[in-house]
């Protein structure tokens, strides 16, 4: 695994109505910048239904009766040449502070994570709140954040058996990608903390922008503030 | 928009939800697409009552369903054959009918398939959430209060109860009816290999394309877990999470495939050996636990051609009759 984008992207068909463009094979800001820039380059193309930036690839859903795989592959490869000539500048430094509570009720796995690494729960909390995490992608469930930047000192494998239900919002820490779970979900990651207030997508209005700028442009970073 | 009182649920059966074409374009926020599991039957039911193809319908699962009409309306059924009767008169899949106030629609017993679609003129009236009326149960999004329908629920529909020049007793042509599994016959599903077919050994690919798989009891709107021989990975069964297409066949470490359906998560970290083509999604959506499937690889271009022809046939039938 290297932290730089590949020389050429891999354009992989996902059936006849979607494709994935892989640009590297690591979780690294340099690769993610390229992912975001590529997702932006695919904006406004007729037939493109969704663009999902992920850690190291852009997933593109399209109407194959409006635009062909070949035409999209051309767009991707042309955009790639442009991006190679003038690499994208680092996206925004916006930081979102998320209040979190590490009480057992909200962080059912905190004790286990601490024991596994020979730390006290307070030390885990300190390590967990220290970095500023990068938001690499949203997915899995509405608003679930896939983050990068967790300290290797608390990397913990996924649960062998997913939890049947996780309540409201939690911070998970499957190494090296902590996540934040909204609403109710079946998850395999670890829940070491949760914010005392829920944050979920409202069922009705206000209607979010279909493609908020930060989803593709200026990725915010996020960090849990120090424990209270 | 003006609505009219249309239907009261007497018995919802195991699962009845409001669905439409799906909540497309919000996957980058982690919002699953959802929508009708069988997109062909959904479109046919709407076409039979003169609706635009995106109108909301009821998706009735397995049977046990009974409802009373509260006003006159054009209506239609498509998809599974759940033994529907309107006031005792049988209604097969792909048929339009006229309901009067007090008419009772009842599913008397499943004869084939899994999911039936009930459309009424104008479409069921529920608030649009992120561009769709589809119910996504895990996040309580869309549909009627984000939940499955219950006894006593009253549903409204938009606009006039009959479209111009509409008649009951219209039948969809056989080539536009979703195939329902026949006992003992495996369901043939065409797939396009990839995006991560290279994460499997040749033996694993041979198993996938050569063996039969059974639909397990863990088959729901999110995905169909299949049982059968183990599909061998070429390395670790773990990739960096990436986007998931409708029909993606992911294979976790245990080697048994999971086909991701309407309520699929937007991203996942298991390698995807292949993707079921769009025109074969209906056949799988009509499968129930115990049915068997076999996979057959076709090219991306063949898959596109099948979709183009189906879309053209749908259009010609809708416009021409």
Whether the complex's predicted ipTM surpasses the cut of 0.85 = yes
Does A136 touch chain B if contact means CB atoms closer than 8 Å?
no
The domain locations on chain A are 10-85, 95-223
pLDDT-derived band at A1, boundaries 50, 70, 90: low
A:B CB pairs within 8 Å: 168
Q: Do B140 and A183 touch (CB under 8 A)?
A: yes
Fold match, A10-85 / A95-223: no
Q: Which of B138, B247, B266 sits opposite A52 (nearest CB)?
A: B266
Number of residues assigned to chain A: 228
Answer whether residue A227 shows pLDDT above 60. Answer: no
**Residue A172 parent element (H or E):** strand A170-172
Q: By mean pLDDT, which of A4-18, A59-73, A96-110 is the weakest?
A: A96-110
Does A49 touch chain B if contact means CB atoms closer than 8 Å?
yes
Strands B187-193 and B292-297: parallel
pLDDT-derived band at A194, boundaries 50, 70, 90: low
Tell me, which fold does domain A10-85 have in CATH? Gyrase A; domain 2 (3.30.1360)
DSSP letters, B179-201, are: PPPPTTPPEEEEEEE-SSGGGB-
- B237-275 residue pLDDT tens: 889 999 999 999 999 999 999 999 999 999 988 999 999
Between B116 and A197, where is the model more confident?
Answer: B116
Q: By mean pLDDT, which of A108-122, A138-152, B56-70 is the weakest?
A: A138-152
Residue B87 to residues A86, B101, B118, Cα–Cα distance (Å) = 70, 11, 16
Chain A residues within 8 A of B277 when measuring between CB atoms: 15-16
pLDDT score of A215: 36
- A51-92 residue pLDDT tens: 999 999 999 999 999 999 999 999 999 999 999 888 777 666
Answer whether residue A188 shows pLDDT above 60. Answer: no
Q: Do B304 and A16 touch (CB under 8 A)?
A: yes
Cα–chain center distance at B165: 28
Q: By mean pLDDT, which of A36-45, A147-156, B218-227 is the weakest?
A: A147-156
- B158-185 residue pLDDT tens: 999 999 989 899 999 999 999 999 988 9
Does A187 touch chain B if contact means CB atoms closer than 8 Å?
no
Q: What is the mean pLDDT of chain B?
A: 96
Domains and CATH numbers, chain B: 3-176 (no CATH), 187-317 (2.40.100.10)
Residue whose C-alpha is closest to residue A41's, from A60, A22, A54: A60
Rounded to a whole number, what is the distance in angstroms from the first to the last CA of chain B?
Answer: 28
Chain A residues within 8 A of B32 when measuring between CB atoms: 141-142
Query: What superfamily would CATH give domain A95-223?
Result: Cyclophilin-like (2.40.100.10)
Q: Do B25 and A210 touch (CB under 8 A)?
A: yes
Residues of A (72-91) whose Cβ lies below 8 Å from B:
none
pLDDT score of A146: 85
Does A218 touch chain B if contact means CB atoms closer than 8 Å?
no
Q: Is the pTM of this model over 0.90?
A: no
Best of A5, A14, A138 to mutate (most B CBs within 10 Å, chain B) = A14
pLDDT score of A191: 63
pLDDT score of A14: 98
Does A201 touch chain B if contact means CB atoms closer than 8 Å?
yes
């Amino acid at each position: 695994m290297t932290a730089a984008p590949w020389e050429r992207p891999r354009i992989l068909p996902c059936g006849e109505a979607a494709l994935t463009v892989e640009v590297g094979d690591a979780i690294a800001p340099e690769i993610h910048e390229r992912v975001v820039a590529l997702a932006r380059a695919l904006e406004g193309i007729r037939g493109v239904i969704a663009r999902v930036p992920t850690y190291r690839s852009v997933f593109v859903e399209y109407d194959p009766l409006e635009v062909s795989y070949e035409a999209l592959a051309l767009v991707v490869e042309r955009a790639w040449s442009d991006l190679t000539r003038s690499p994208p500048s680092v996206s925004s430094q916006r930081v979102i502070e998320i209040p979190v509570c590490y009480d057992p009720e909200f962080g059912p796995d905190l004790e286990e994570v601490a024991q596994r690494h020979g730390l006290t729960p307070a030390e885990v909390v300190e390590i967990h709140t220290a970095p500023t995490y990068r938001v690499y992608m949203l997915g899995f469930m509405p608003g679930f954040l896939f983050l990068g930047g967790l300290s290797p000192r608390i990397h913990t494998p996924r649960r062998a058996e997913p939890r049947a239900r996780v309540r409201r919002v939690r911070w998970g820490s499957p190494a090296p990608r902590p996540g934040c779970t909204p609403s109710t979900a079946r998850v395999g990651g670890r829940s070491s903390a949760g914010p005392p207030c829920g944050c979920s997508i409202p069922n009705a209005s206000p209607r979010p922008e279909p493609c908020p700028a930060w989803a593709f442009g200026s990725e915010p970073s996020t960090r849990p503030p120090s424990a209270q | 928009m003006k609505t009219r009182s249309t239907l009261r649920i007497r018995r919802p059966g195991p699962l009845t939800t409001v669905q439409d074409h799906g909540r497309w374009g919000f996957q980058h926020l982690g919002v699953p697409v959802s929508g009708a599991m069988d997109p062909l039957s959904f479109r046919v039911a709407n076409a039979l009552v003169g609706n635009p193809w995106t109108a909301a319908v009821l998706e009735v699962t397995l049977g046990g369903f009974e409802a009373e009409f509260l006003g006159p309306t054009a209506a239609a059924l498509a998809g599974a054959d759940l033994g529907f009767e309107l006031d005792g008169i049988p209604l097969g899949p792909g048929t339009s009918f006229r309901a009067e106030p007090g008419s009772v629609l009842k599913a008397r017993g499943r004869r084939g398939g899994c999911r039936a679609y009930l459309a009424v003129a104008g479409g069921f009236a529920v608030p649009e959430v992120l561009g769709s009326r589809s119910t996504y149960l895990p996040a309580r999004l869309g549909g009627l209060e984000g939940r499955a329908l219950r006894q006593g629920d009253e549903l409204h529909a938009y606009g006039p109860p009959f479209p111009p020049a509409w008649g009951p007793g219209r039948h969809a042509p056989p080539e536009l009816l979703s195939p329902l599994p026949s006992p003992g016959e495996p369901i043939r599903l065409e797939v396009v290999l990839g995006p991560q077919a290279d994460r499997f050994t040749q033996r694993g690919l041979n198993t996938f394309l050569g063996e039969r798989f059974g639909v397990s009891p863990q088959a729901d709107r999110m995905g169909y877990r299949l049982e059968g021989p183990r599909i061998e990975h070429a390395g670790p069964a773990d990739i960096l999470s990436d986007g998931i297409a409708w029909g993606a066949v992911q294979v976790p470490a245990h080697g048994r495939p999971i086909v991701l359906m309407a309520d699929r998560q937007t991203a996942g970290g298991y390698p995807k050996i292949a993707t079921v083509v769009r025109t074969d999604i209906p056949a799988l959506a009509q499968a129930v636990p115990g049915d068997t499937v076999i996979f057959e690889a076709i090219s991306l271009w063949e898959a596109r051609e099948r979709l183009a022809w189906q879309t053209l046939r749908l259009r010609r039938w809708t416009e021409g009759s």
